[in-house]
Structure 1
Amino acid sequence: MQVIDGIELYHVTAPLPAPFSPSWIPGTVRNTVTFYLVRFITDDGVEGWSGFTGAGRERVGIGHTLADLFLGESPEDIDRLAERIHIMAVGGNFNWWLEPAFWDIKAKNAGLPLYKLLGGSSDRLRLYASSGELRDTGARREEAEARLADGFDTMKIRVHDWDEKVDIEHITDVATHMQGRMKISVDCNQAFRLTAKADAPLWSLDRAKRFADAAADVELAWVEEPLFGEWHEEMAKLTAYSRVPIAGGELHVMGYAELARMIKMRCYNIYQPDAMFTGGVKQSLDVAKLCREEGVKFSSHTWTNGFGFIINAHVFAASGFADEMVFEYPLNEPGWVPEGRDAIIKQPFMHDKGWFNMPQTPGLGFEIDHEQLKKYGKCFFKASRKEVHWMPEALASMT
């Protein structure tokens, strides 16, 4: 029986081509893309990879836990491995981003792209351009025109102002400007609060209702995460009230159990779990199945890095919703572009005039650029069934 024989953990910090200021983290300017990278290796040499956003040393202690939980296990037994990831979560350490690496191995064993192993047949995904920064109305019009020229027919913008009139002006202006040519949606980023560097507004249900009214008046495609993520009852009230679809669900780390409750409650019209946070590939597909049964929509979230994008692309391509929904393509020139977002992946995941062509190679469908990994990454932990190595020099140099 094939078993997991080796584990490697890396911390990667690669430069972006220009500074990037994510709207959901007020006061932050990113000059790099930073993430943790895991490599699982079987006793017959098959590799499974995954990578998850990370700032500094917050995950450096998980090496021994991974060795104890996964070495000697079969990579084919996803349910057992997911149970072991859940063991980590019970201890307060959510690491669902590990699960796709086992699917990478399983699909390579089968000689199939992951989405086909999962029963998917959608080889091309219709994309929407997903911006990430706050911009004034003039700059937003220019961005929308640029994305339209690129071939996108839908774009998602961001709002995050203390003054609700400013937020309403932003959606009204760009939606009116692009009316009849491009659909506009909006992410309010109210489901979670990342306020370590600067404070941010916290919307009430009444404010969300007023915003939803304004969004409906200019025919927005959807309004994303207009309320705090734990306010299930308030979300359901807003969705029942709104004339525009309400969307969300990307960071519910309890996975299927919480999202299933939210679906039954009709918290959203469109559910957007991210496999890297919300339970991995399998639970995301279980959410998609329940969405179909309950008559609501599904489209995966992807705003992490290149690994998060391609893993969620496989989920979406196998979800049964790819022929009726658009899929998120993070793009915020000049800073957040594929060449930076997909650091250490040999071929960045480029769009094709607003479409994404699914990779046809076995597994997740990418190759690691080992020269770039050597340049920008630090391996801080290695383990096999025979020995364990920490790299103190790498740990000391991590920021």
Structure 2
Amino acid sequence: MKITDIRIFVTCPGRNFVTVKIYTDEGLTGVGDATLNGRELAVASYLKDHVAPCLIGRDALCSEDIWHYLYRGAYWRRGPVTMASIAGIDTALWDIRAKAAGMPLYQLLGGASRDRVLCYTHAQGTGISEAVVAVGARIDEGYLAIRAQVGIPGLPDIYGTGVSGLTNTASDNATPREEMWSTSKYLPRIPRLFEALRAAHGEEVHLLHDVHHRLSPIEAARLGKDLEPFRLFWLEDAVPAENQEGFRVVRQHTTTPLAVGEVFNTVWDAKLLIEEQLIDFIRTTCVHAGGPTALRRIMDFAGLHHVRTACHGAADMSPICLGANLHLDLWVPNFGIQEYSGYTEEMLSLFPHAWSFSGGYLHPGEAHGHGVDFDESHADEYPYQPAYLPVNRLEDGTLWHW
């Protein structure tokens, strides 16, 4: 089965997505997500100018060899642009392979290890009382696990407390919005949030929290220890993970479970964290880690070290990536949880999907392939809109981690 064409679409049905569509001489097509939030055009150019021309005429069923051709064969390896590009191709090829086999992707991976996939969603508030109400609303919607965020008094809205993450984030001239951060104001605030949440909603609901890489190891250790009475499902991205050894300090001081990895591109970004069991959940996702070929190896490696999976699932990846993640979630033995922030109706109309949500769980569906398609006939209705993720500064103006 030969690859005859590869087309790249950059669309904005409320948020920018990069979609790869591979065509074959047997009429089967596959789609993949190659979105890199805020750098979409860089990935699109990498694919159009450097990747697609090299793959025309190759066997679409030789996805393993193609993956290594794109990774090992490139002298400049890794990095978010390269790995998002590989992910788009790899996910589309797995889609074709499963369609050719006449089965859903999870069956091709080895079959289901569970009946359904536990997921968590987001709730937030400017104040604690508002966040308590927001979590309650999510419980009423059927969610069993909820990530809770709250604003910090004296600071403007920041990530996870202000505007919805479902749409593009940029100022009027498409430059990054600047947010403000104060660790000293944040640290005493978060335990009070979860004390109020437990008092209002009890012990049954799974509660999670995202620090977004903003603390030092000892600050994260202090927060984890302060949160222990409220038994969080996890504390996410407590410190920047470039220095993996920093998690040793956090681990030595708290039993609050730790999650990290949504910005990781390869297993090398998490090798020490997993080997030394410094984390409890690995959050790599198909679109950022090089597609199903690479992600399933990260998942297997994590399983050897008592680390469970927890794929990133915010709206900065398209419904295609979520669909692929769900097939891996249903298959992988050491599954933990799947993030699910939802999509707008515009997004879902452009990306018809077989996955479904019910009672706090997701299922990828039984459609052949990964179960998500791309309606290219409507792609021109959603042209690319320049947008960026925010940047972050301390109160004195110092640029900080966002």
TM-score range, shorter chain: 0.7 to 0.9
Who is 1:168 aligned against?
191
For the residue of structure 2 that corresponds to 1:365, the secondary structure is coil
Question: Partners of 2:305 and 2:256 in 1: how far apart?
Answer: 19
Question: Partners of 1:75 and 1:237 in 2: how far apart?
Answer: 46
Name the aligned partner's letter for residue 298 of structure 1: T
Of residues 200, 209, 217 in structure 1, which corresponds to 2:229?
Answer: 217
**CA distances 1:18-45 after superposition (whole Å, capped 9, x unpaired):** xxxxxxxxxxxxxx21111111101111
Name the aligned partner's letter for residue 318 of structure 2: N
Divergent runs of 4+, >4 A: 347-350
Query: How does 1:118-267 map onto structure 2 within 5 Å?
Result: 118-122=109-113, 124-131=115-122, 135-158=126-149, 161-162=181-182, 163=185, 164-190=187-213, 202-253=214-265, 255-267=266-278
Deviation, 1:140, is 1.4
Query: How does 1:1-399 map onto structure 2 within 5 Å?
Result: 2-14=1-13, 32-53=14-35, 54-55=37-38, 57-62=41-46, 63-86=48-71, 87=73, 90=77, 93-94=81-82, 95-98=85-88, 99-122=90-113, 124-131=115-122, 135-158=126-149, 161-162=181-182, 163=185, 164-190=187-213, 202-253=214-265, 255-303=266-314, 304-322=317-335, 325-331=336-342, 337-342=343-348, 344-347=350-353, 349-377=355-383
Listed as ranges, the gaps of 5+ residues in structure 1 are: 15-31, 191-201, 332-336, 379-396
**CA distances 1:340-376 after superposition (whole Å, capped 9, x unpaired):** 5535113485411212122111101123334433422
Name the aligned partner's letter for residue 223 of structure 1: L
Judging changes above 3 Å, is the alpha-carbon distance between structure 1 residues 125 and 327 closer, same or farther for their aligned structure 2 residues? farther
For the residue of structure 2 that corresponds to 1:276, the secondary structure is helix
Deviation, 1:217, is 1.7
C-alpha contact 1:125 1:326 (8 A) present in aligned 2: no
For the residue of structure 2 that corresponds to 1:277, the secondary structure is helix
Listed as ranges, the gaps of 5+ residues in structure 2 are: 151-158, 160-180, 388-402
**CA distances 1:156-208 after superposition (whole Å, capped 9, x unpaired):** 12366522223333333323322224121111111xxxxxxxxxxx3111210
Question: Partners of 2:69 and 2:149 in 1: how far apart?
Answer: 37
Q: CA RMSD in A?
A: 2.5
Question: Partners of 2:123 and 2:346 in 1: how far apart?
Answer: 14
**CA distances 1:286-331 after superposition (whole Å, capped 9, x unpaired):** 1221222222222222222312211111111111134xx3322114
Deviation, 1:227, is 0.6
Name the aligned partner's letter for residue 21 of structure 2: R
Name the aligned partner's letter for residue 6 of structure 1: D
Judging changes above 3 Å, is the alpha-carbon distance between structure 1 residues 13 and 132 closer, same or farther for their aligned structure 2 residues? farther
Judging changes above 3 Å, is the alpha-carbon distance between structure 1 residues 294 and 321 closer, same or farther for their aligned structure 2 residues? closer
Question: Partners of 1:179 and 1:126 in 2: how far apart?
Answer: 23
Deviation, 1:248, is 1.1
Who is 2:174 aligned against?
none
Judging changes above 3 Å, is the alpha-carbon distance between structure 1 residues 12 and 223 closer, same or farther for their aligned structure 2 residues? same
Judging changes above 3 Å, is the alpha-carbon distance between structure 1 residues 260 and 120 closer, same or farther for their aligned structure 2 residues? farther
C-alpha contact 1:33 1:343 (8 A) present in aligned 2: no
Deviation, 1:239, is 2.3
> Percent of aligned pairs with the same residue?
18
For the residue of structure 2 that corresponds to 1:360, the secondary structure is coil
TM-score, normalised relative to structure 2? 0.78
C-alpha contact 1:40 1:101 (8 A) present in aligned 2: yes
Matched positions, count: 344
Question: Partners of 1:106 and 1:340 in 2: how far apart?
Answer: 28
C-alpha contact 1:338 1:348 (8 A) present in aligned 2: no
Question: Partners of 2:354 and 2:198 in 1: how far apart?
Answer: 30
C-alpha contact 1:239 1:269 (8 A) present in aligned 2: no
Deviation, 1:122, is 4.5
For the residue of structure 1 that corresponds to 2:286, the secondary structure is coil
Name the aligned partner's letter for residue 198 of structure 2: A
Question: Partners of 2:9 and 2:322 in 1: how far apart?
Answer: 19
